[in-house]
Structure 1
Amino acid sequence: MKTSEKMKNTIIYIVTLLVAMTFFTACMGEGNDATTVENQKGMNEEEKDSEEGELHLSSLKFNSLGIKLDTLSVRPLSGLVEANGQLEVPPQHEATVTAVLGANVVTIDVIEGDKVRKGQVLANLSHPNLTQLQTNYIKALSQMQYLEKEMKRQKKLYEEKVGSGKTYQQTLADYQSTKGEVEGLEVQLNQVGLNALEVRNEGVRQNVPVTSPIDGYIEKVKVQIGQFVDPQSEMFLIVNTDHIHADLMVFEKDVHKVKKGQDIFFTVESVPGAMLSAKIYSVGKQFEQNPKAVHVHAEIEEKRDFLIPGMYINGKIHTETKSVFALPEAAIIEEEGKPYIFMATSHQEDGETEWAFKAVEIRTGLIDDGWIEIKLLEPLPKGALVAWNNAYYLISEMKKSETSHEH
C-alpha cells in the first residue's frame, strides 16, 4: 500500500513539473512576440522619421487639387521699379489766352471741352481802345504814303540840283519815322487778332476777334459776356491732349536703374481697369526735395479719350531684362522668413501612383508680371519636377503631417 501511494505521488510530481515547464515555455514565447512587435514598431517609427519634410499624396488627391508639375523653366524677366505720378502736357502744348488791350467781351464762341484749331475765333471784344488803335494805324499809314511820295519828289529835285539837300534829308527822316510807327501799329494789330491788310482795305472794325494760339481743347472759359478784361486777365485755358504724357516720380534708390527707352505699364486711379503702356523719353537730372525723387517722362503709346492732364497714375517701370530660372508666384511660399518651392517625385504603391513633395529652400530675385526669379541654393537633380502652383496648400498639409507625428 505504501509502495502504491509512493508511485502515485511520483506521477503527480511529474505531471506538475510538465505543466509548469509548458507554462514557462508559453510565457517565454509571448515575451518574444512582444519584443518583436516593439522592435517592428521601432522600425516603423524610424521609417516615418526618415520621411519627415515630405508630403505624400495619393493619385486621387493629387488630381483633385489640379497641381501642375514641370521642370524649372528659364524665362526672360525684367526688374520692376514702382513709381507714382500724374498725366502732364508739355508747356508748349498748353496756352492761356488773354486780351492784349483792355476791352469788353461781346461774344463767346466756344464752351469747355470744345476742340479748337490754331487761329480759330474764341470770342470777340469791343472797346474804344481797339477802335483808336485801328484809327491810329490808318492815320499813320496815310501819312507814310504821303511822305513816301514827298520824299521821292524831294530826292528828284535834289539830284537835279533844283531842291535843297536839307529839305530832302528832312523829308526822308520824316518818312522813315512814320514808316516805323506804321510797322509798330501793324504788330499791335496782329497781337490783338486784327489783320493789318484787312484794316487797310476795309477800314475800322467794331469787334476784334480773340483767336486760339494752338490746336487743342478748351479746358476752361474764364470770362462772361459784357465783362471788361484787362491785358492781364485770363480768358481761356487751352490744352492739346495729343501730347499728353506720363510724368512719374522715381525715388533716389531706384534712379540708377531707370533709363531712356525703357517700357512703363501704368493705370489711372480714376479708371483702374485700364492698363496703359508708355516709353521713357526723358529722365530728370535734378532731385525734387519733397520727396527726394526725379521726374521721369514717358510717351504714352496708345492715348485714350479719358486721359486728362492732372490725373494720378500708378506705374511699373521695366528695367533690364535677363534670362533666369523662374516660377509663377503660386509656386513659392514663405515660411519663417524663408522662401520655398516643392520638388515632386512619384512611385507605385498597390498599383496606384503616389506623389511625394519635398520643400526646397531657395532665394528669390526679379519679379515680373506674376513670375519670380528662382535662385537655387543647391542644384536640383536632372529633370526634377517642381510644383508650379498650390504651394500654400502643400506647406499647410506638410505642417499638419509634422504636427500629427509629434503627437
Structure 2
Amino acid sequence: MKKHFIYIVTIAFVATFLASCGNKADEGQQDEQPQEEIKGGEGEVHLSQLKFNSLGIKVDEIPTRPLSGVVEANGQLEVPPQHEATVTAILGANVTTIKVIEGDKVRKGQTLATLAHPDLSQLQMNYVRVYSQMQYLEKEYERQKKLYEEKVGSGKTFEQTQADYLSMKGEAKGYEAQLRQLSLNVEKVQRGNIYQNVPVVSPIDGFIEKVEVQIGQFVDPQKGMFMIVNNDHIHADLMVFEKDVYKVMKGQDIFFTVESVPGTTLKAKIYSVGKQFEQNPKAVHVHAEIDQKEDFLIPGMYINGRIHTGEKSVLALPESAIIEEDGKPFIFTAAAHKEDGQTEWGFKAVEIRTGLVDEGWVEIKLLMPLPEGTKVAWNNAYYLISEMNKSQTSHDH
C-alpha cells in the first residue's frame, strides 16, 4: 500500500514538472516573437502607426474633382494636301543644276534646279516670232479699222485683218502662259532675250522631303523632281471607332504621345470630325490642330491620343486607391484609434462602382452613403486587400 502511494506521488510530481517546463518554453518563445503589426478581421485590416508610416499611406476624405470622359484613339501626324507639293518639269528637259538637298527649308518661288533643252529654246523663239507678228497685225488692224470707219477701206479686208490679228493675239497669249509656267520673264523674252537654262521653282514654303533627280538626267513633264512639305501645318489625324464617334466633336482637347519620342505629351484641339466611316477598322478620321508644334514632329509619325469628351465634377480617387476583387471594385475607409496607448489604424473594404477615368483619377460611385467626415485610403489598396485576405485565411484555419 505504501509503495502504491509513493508511485502515485512520483507520477504527479513528474507531470507537474513537465507542465512547468512547457509553460516556460512557451513564455520564452513569446518573448522572442516580434510584436504583431498587422491584425485583422473579416472585411478589414489593422495596421500599427509604425507600419502605417512605413507604407506611406495617405488618408483623407473623398474629394470632388473635375474629370473628363476620355476616348482612346490612335493615328499619325499628317499635313493637309494643300501644304504638300510634288514639283515636276513643265516640259521634258535635262537637269543642268540642283540647288537644294533633302531637309533644306525653301520659300515659295525659290529656284530648286535648272533645266535646259532645245525645245525650251524653240518655245521662246516661237513666242518672239508670234509676238512680232501680233504687233504688226495690231497696227494693220488699227489702220484698216480707221479706213473702214471713214468709208474708204473694204469691209472684207478689215474683217480679214481683224481675224488674223485676233488669231495671232490668242497664239501669243498661249505662249505667254507657257513661259510663265516655266517661271520666265515674258517681257525679257519679248525683247529677244532667250533663256538657256529654265528654273524649276518651289510652289510653296516648306522643307525638301525628297530629291529624285540627278545632274544631266532627262525628266519627262510628269516626272516628280522634288517633294516639299510644310510642317508648319502638321496636325494630328486620329481614328475613332464607331462605338465612340457620338462622344467626339469639334473643339474638344486631345492629349497625345508620339511613339518614337517617349515621355513627351502634346496637346491639340479638334477642328474636323469625318463624316464617313473607313473600313477595316470601322472608324472615322478626327483632325486636330497641335497647340505647340515641336521641330521633331514629322508627317507619318504614329501617335496615341486621349480625347477629352466633356468635364464634370465628381467624387474621385487616385487609381492606386481602388482594387478589384472577384470582379468588384473596392476602396478602404480608414479610422485611427488608441489601443494600449498606441495609435492603430483600421481599414475596412467598401464596395463601389467606378465611372470616368482621367489622368490617373477615377470617378467613385458609392453604393451606400458614407458618414460625413469619413476618411479613406488614397493609395496602397493592393497591399491592404492582400493583408485582409491573409487575415481571413488565418481565421478560417
User: One fold, TM greater than 0.5?
Assistant: yes
Equivalent residue of 2:347, what SS?
A: strand
- Which protein is richer in helix relative to its size? 1
Match status 1:268 vs 2:273: no
For 1:392, the equivalent position in structure 2 comes to: 382
User: Aligned letter for 2:373?
Assistant: G
Distance, in Å, in 2 between the alignment partners of 1:153 and 1:242 is 57
Distance, in Å, in 2 between the alignment partners of 1:228 and 1:120 is 21
Equivalent residue of 1:224, what SS?
A: coil
Distance, in Å, in 2 between the alignment partners of 1:89 and 1:306 is 14
For 1:38, the equivalent position in structure 2 comes to: none
For 2:178, the equivalent position in structure 1 comes to: 188
Q: CA deviation at 1:153?
A: 1.3
Equivalent residue of 2:200, what SS?
A: strand
For 2:81, the equivalent position in structure 1 comes to: 91
For 1:81, the equivalent position in structure 2 comes to: 71
**Preserved contact between residue 76 and residue 236 of structure 2 (Cα < 8 Å):** yes
For 1:405, the equivalent position in structure 2 comes to: 395
Q: CA deviation at 1:215?
A: 0.6
Match status 1:335 vs 2:345: no
For 1:306, the equivalent position in structure 2 comes to: 296
Distance, in Å, in 2 between the alignment partners of 1:291 and 1:70 is 44
Distance, in Å, in 1 between the alignment partners of 2:339 and 2:263 is 50
Choose the corresponding residue for 1:359, options 339, 346, 349: 349
Query: Matches of residues 213-232 of structure 1 in structure 2 within 5 Å?
Result: 213-232=203-222
Q: CA deviation at 1:159?
A: 2.4
For 1:324, the equivalent position in structure 2 comes to: 314
For 1:350, the equivalent position in structure 2 comes to: 340
- In the alignment, structure 2 segments of 5+ residues that lack a partner are 1-38
Distance, in Å, in 2 between the alignment partners of 1:221 and 1:256 is 43
Q: CA deviation at 1:193?
A: 1.9
User: Aligned letter for 1:276?
Assistant: L
Distance, in Å, in 2 between the alignment partners of 1:197 and 1:371 is 70
Higher CA-based Rg: 1
Distance, in Å, in 1 between the alignment partners of 2:319 and 2:191 is 77
Q: Which of 205-214 and 167-176 deviates more? A: 167-176
Task: Give TM-score scaled by structure 2 length.
Answer: 0.89
Distance, in Å, in 2 between the alignment partners of 1:389 and 1:132 is 82
Equivalent residue of 2:115, what SS?
A: strand
User: Aligned letter for 1:135?
Assistant: M
Equivalent residue of 2:123, what SS?
A: helix
For 1:37, the equivalent position in structure 2 comes to: none
For 2:132, the equivalent position in structure 1 comes to: 142
Q: CA deviation at 1:256?
A: 0.6
Q: CA deviation at 1:155?
A: 1.6
Q: Deviations over 1:258-309 (max 9, x none)?
A: 1111111111111112111100000000000111000000001100111111
Q: CA deviation at 1:92?
A: 0.4
Equivalent residue of 2:191, what SS?
A: helix
Q: CA deviation at 1:202?
A: 5.2
Choose the corresponding residue for 1:372, options 362, 370, 383: 362
Distance, in Å, in 2 between the alignment partners of 1:348 and 1:232 is 87
Q: CA deviation at 1:198?
A: 2.4
Equivalent residue of 2:122, what SS?
A: helix
Distance, in Å, in 2 between the alignment partners of 1:293 and 1:202 is 60
Choose the corresponding residue for 1:208, options 190, 198, 208: 198
For 2:97, the equivalent position in structure 1 comes to: 107
Distance, in Å, in 1 between the alignment partners of 2:47 and 2:339 is 12
Q: CA deviation at 1:55?
A: 0.8
User: Aligned letter for 1:112?
Assistant: E
For 1:199, the equivalent position in structure 2 comes to: 189
Query: Matches of residues 14-93 of structure 1 in structure 2 within 5 Å?
Result: 51-93=41-83
Q: Deviations over 1:330-380 (max 9, x none)?
A: 100111111100001122112222111000000111100000000101001
Distance, in Å, in 1 between the alignment partners of 2:211 and 2:44 is 72
Match status 1:279 vs 2:269: yes
Distance, in Å, in 2 between the alignment partners of 1:58 and 1:273 is 39
For 2:148, the equivalent position in structure 1 comes to: 158
Choose the corresponding residue for 1:297, options 278, 283, 287: 287
Equivalent residue of 1:315, what SS?
A: strand
Q: Could you tell me the percent identity over the aligned residues? A: 76
Equivalent residue of 1:288, what SS?
A: coil
For 2:27, the equivalent position in structure 1 comes to: none
Q: CA deviation at 1:50?
A: 10
Q: Deviations over 1:99-136 (max 9, x none)?
A: 11110000001101111111000100001111111011
**Cα distance, 1:51–1:398 mapped onto 2, change above 3 Å:** closer
For 2:236, the equivalent position in structure 1 comes to: 246
- In the alignment, structure 1 segments of 5+ residues that lack a partner are 1-48
Q: Deviations over 1:182-240 (max 9, x none)?
A: 11110011112212122123511110000001111111001111000111111111100
Q: Give me the CA root mean square deviation.
A: 1.3
**Preserved contact between residue 41 and residue 391 of structure 2 (Cα < 8 Å):** no
Task: Give TM-score scaled by structure 1 length.
Answer: 0.86
User: Aligned letter for 1:186?
Assistant: E
